[in-house]
């Protein structure tokens, strides 16, 4: 693959996932990822600080989407309705063509302690983005934090279901369903 081809970042992400799945995360090097794409190690580091971060590409964008969607929710929206609007906005960015990638991504993360730790950190940042936007809307703590945590939990649950290669439902529908399941479970607590 020539170095001048477009989408270097996407190519690096796909190569990394392929190599992590083939030979394991620990055995995969930045050089190996770059070589798989026909790019240099320097190009890799222009896009990512390390090989771990290649799996979490787009986190800043996801945080921004969630925060902006919470902020844009109607003024009459409850905190969970604003979170639901944010999940809709984020889920809309995922296409069915990414489903196979999601399946492989979850498997690679599940197989490595360091990656599970990084995923937990990512989830905390996503929740913080929504909680901050909810606070800006006037939602006090702990309600802002709880609504945001429920939103991230719902999205994670929905993403895991959506990544099933035999699945046909949209991530948006699954996220709405997961948030409603969590809302119902919370209400049942008392």
For residue 171, the Cα-to-chain-centroid distance in whole angstroms is 12
Give the model's pLDDT for residue 86: 98
pLDDT greater than 90 at residue 27: yes
What does the pLDDT look like over 143-188, one tens digit per residue?
999 999 999 999 999 999 999 988 889 999 999 999 999 999 999 9
Q: What is the pLDDT of residue 6?
A: 73
Query: What mean pLDDT, rounded, does the chain reach?
Result: 93
CA dihedral 9, 11, 16, 22 (to 10 degrees): 170
At 49, list the tokens: 């600080």
- Per-residue pLDDT tens for 42-64? 999 999 999 999 999 888 999 99
Residues 178, 60: Cα–Cα separation, whole Å: 23
Asked if pLDDT for residue 19 goes beyond 90, the answer is yes
């Amino acid at each position: 693959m020539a170095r001048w081809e477009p989408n270097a970042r996407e190519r690096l992400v796909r190569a990394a996932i392929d190599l992590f799945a083939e030979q394991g995360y620990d055995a995969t090097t930045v050089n190996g990822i770059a070589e798989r794409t026909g790019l240099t190690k320097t190009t890799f580091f222009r896009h990512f600080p390390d090989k771990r971060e290649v799996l979490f590409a787009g986190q800043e964008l996801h945080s921004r989407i969630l925060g902006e969607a919470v902020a844009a929710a109607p003024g009459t929206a409850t905190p969970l309705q604003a979170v639901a609007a944010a999940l809709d906005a984020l889920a809309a960015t995922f296409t069915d063509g990414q489903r196979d990638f999601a399946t492989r991504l979850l498997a690679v993360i599940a197989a490595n302690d360091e990656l599970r730790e990084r995923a937990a950190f990512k989830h905390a940042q996503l929740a913080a983005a929504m909680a901050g936007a909810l606070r800006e809307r006037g939602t006090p703590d702990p309600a802002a934090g709880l609504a945001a945590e429920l939103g991230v939990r719902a999205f994670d649950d929905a993403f895991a279901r959506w990544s099933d290669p035999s699945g046909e439902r949209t991530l948006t529908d699954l996220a709405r369903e997961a948030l409603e399941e969590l809302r119902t479970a919370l209400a049942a607590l008392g």
